[in-house]
């Protein structure tokens, strides 16, 4: 991989890799523009993808995989591995930065890039649901973590004697369940909706003119169900990761 000079930044070719709990996504960028996204690419194909697309810089974050092992498995070199020690374009005020999930950090950096000078609440709805706040002054304070939809369904099945394993449906569920299956669906889905709406109201009360940004595998599911104003940015983590390597290229 070569390294671009400041004058070449708008055309710099980057790859951002987000290794989550359930899937891996790789985004190909030209400058700040996201060109394409690969879902669950084979590790042994990544170096070929880098070469074929003239990628100059690669950044990766993971919540589950040892990044040193990842680098060895893929054959990629000079990879920026996002850790609590990596220089980033925001001020990280999290109390224990070494325990912070790097996908959470990348997501708020993505929000700050897309919506600068605004207070933003990032809601990442996936395996877990995370709530992260970044101020208009680009200061990240932290937020909250709760179980995602599928974790809640699994927990009801695994930690009770009789409740069945239920899965989410792609339509709104009634408030009042008429049998065990629909009662579980109501409790989980409507419970998550009430939780998210409640978090948004609490943050809006404290921070007027709040920008709410949603991402994660279940974000699209909630997009039409939530009443609160929000913007869904499916690839927010990738955008944040790319913003970090663009920041490095300029500094």
Known catalytic residues are 103
What are the distances in angstroms from CA 97 to CA 33, 100, 132, 160, 163?
Answer: 29, 5, 14, 36, 38
How are strands ordered across the β-sheet holding 120-125?
A: 91-92, 139-147, 128-134, 120-125, 211-215, 231-232
Is the distance from CB of 70 to CB of 82 less than 8 angstroms? Answer: no
Is the distance from CB of 126 to CB of 218 less than 8 angstroms? Answer: yes
Query: What is the DSSP secondary structure assignment for residue 97, as one 8-state letter?
Result: G
Pairing of strands 24-30, 33-39: antiparallel
Half-sphere exposure of 121 (CA within 13 A, CB side): 26
Strands (E), 20-138: 24-30, 33-39, 57-62, 79-81, 91-92, 120-125, 128-134
């Amino acid at each position: 991989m070569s390294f671009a000079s400041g004058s070449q930044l708008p055309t710099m070719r980057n790859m951002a890799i987000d290794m989550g709990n359930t899937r891996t996504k790789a985004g190909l960028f030209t400058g700040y523009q996201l060109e394409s996204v690969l879902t669950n690419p084979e590790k042994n194909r990544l170096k070929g993808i880098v070469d074929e697309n003239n990628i100059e810089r690669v950044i990766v974050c993971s919540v589950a995989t040892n990044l040193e092992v990842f680098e060895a498995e893929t054959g990629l070199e000079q990879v920026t591995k996002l850790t609590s020690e990596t220089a980033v374009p925001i001020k990280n005020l999290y109390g224990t930065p070494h325990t912070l999930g790097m996908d959470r950090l990348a997501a708020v950096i993505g929000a700050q890039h897309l919506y600068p000078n605004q207070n933003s609440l990032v809601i990442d709805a996936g395996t877990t649901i995370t709530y992260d706040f970044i101020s208009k002054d680009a200061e990240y304070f932290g937020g909250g973590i709760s179980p995602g939809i599928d974790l809640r369904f699994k927990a009801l099945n695994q930690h009770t004697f009789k409740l069945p394993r239920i899965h989410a449906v792609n339509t709104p569920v009634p408030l009042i369940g008429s049998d065990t299956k629909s009662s579980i669906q109501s409790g989980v889905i409507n419970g998550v909706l009430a939780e998210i709406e409640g978090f948004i109201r609490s943050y809006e009360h404290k921070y007027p003119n709040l920008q709410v940004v949603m991402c994660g595998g279940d974000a699209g599911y909630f997009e039409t169900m939530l009443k609160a104003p929000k913007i869904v940015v499916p690839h927010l983590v990738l955008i944040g990761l790319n913003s970090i390597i663009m920041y490095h290229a300029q500094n």
